[in-house]
Amino acid sequence: MPICTTRDGVDIFYKDWGSGRPVVFIHGWPLNGDAWQDQLKAVADAGFRGIAHDRRGHGRSTPVYDGYDFDTFADDLNDLVTGLDLRDVTLVAHSMGGGELARYIGRHGTDRIRSAVLLSAVPPLMLQTPDNPEGVPQSAFDDIKSGIITERSQFWKDTADSFFGGNRPGNKVTQGNRDAFWYMGMAQTIEGGVDCVDAFASTDFTDDLKKFDVPTLVVHGDDDQIVPIDATGRKTAKIVQGAELKVYEGGSHGIALVPGFKERFNADLLEFLKK
């Protein structure tokens, strides 16, 4: 299997499809690189090199007990980018992965980066605070952690509907979407599942976003029940100078996987990559 070993000895599994200018996909929580297979094929078929890794503690990467913070995730990503000597890279990140992307630029800059795509991403801040009233209350994150600890298998099954919008009238969410979400969730360590909630809930990426100096596309559904657009996507588009915001009407959190929305996102992604 293709593996990148990080500076602290963690093995990061990755897929590497196609050839051409590199596009690195960063998955959300509790998923892994398999969540990007549709997009990997789309970019590889279009003449790009698509790469998607499993975050530490997720999928096929080392199931470590600690290191579930965004400085560590960003440094893992840097180990992958430098280990493969990738340059002129477009980073594409979903949900929690958007924090990884933002912190990567905040810590490592954009010397190797051509552009960035943030899909349903958590920056600048998820947690509801007096300065971020549109955010998610701490009680919601406490409930998520409790669900994982109490019975994570059933929790992932219950969460899949809101993740994809399967609880909305007229949705196109399939049982396959739900099953894939459960399967990937179960491949994440329980410790990673809990620690990642604290990380993506409370980490403030505002200063990281201010360091973006590459073309940036922000895509977000206005019916995202997991990462509310008013607290995240709309604010990110205002903080990142020159960022383009595309709002998908009725779009859920899992845009890249749901039939109808994923085709639209793939088309928007390819259009952005060709600029």
Kindly give the confidence (pLDDT) of every residue in the chain, 275 residues in length, as a single tens digit, with 9 standing for 90 and above: 899 999 999 999 999 999 999 999 999 999 999 999 999 999 999 999 999 999 999 999 999 999 999 999 999 999 999 999 999 999 999 999 999 999 999 999 999 999 999 999 999 999 999 999 999 999 999 999 999 999 999 999 999 999 999 999 999 999 999 999 999 999 999 999 999 999 999 999 999 999 999 999 999 999 999 999 999 999 999 999 999 999 999 999 999 999 999 999 999 999 999 98
Q: What is the CATH number of the domain that holds 16?
A: 3.40.50.1820
Task: Annotate the chain with three-state secondary structure.
Answer: CCEEECCCCCEEEEEEEECCCEEEEECCCCCCHHHHHHHHHHHHHCCCEEEEECCCCCCCCCCCCCCCCHHHHHHHHHHHHHHCCCCCEEEEEECHHHHHHHHHHHHHCCCCEEEEEEECCCCCCCECECCECCCECHHHHHHHHHHHHHHHHHHHHHHHHHHHCCCCCCCCCCHHHHHHHHHHHHCCCHHHHHHHHHHHHHCCCHHHHCCCCCCEEEEEECCCCCCCCCCCHHHHHHHCCCCEEEEECCCCCCCCCCCCHHHHHHHHHHHHHCC
Q: What is the pLDDT of residue 1?
A: 82
Number of domains in the chain: 1
Residue numbers of the domain that contains 99 = 3-273
Catalytically annotated residues: 95, 224, 253
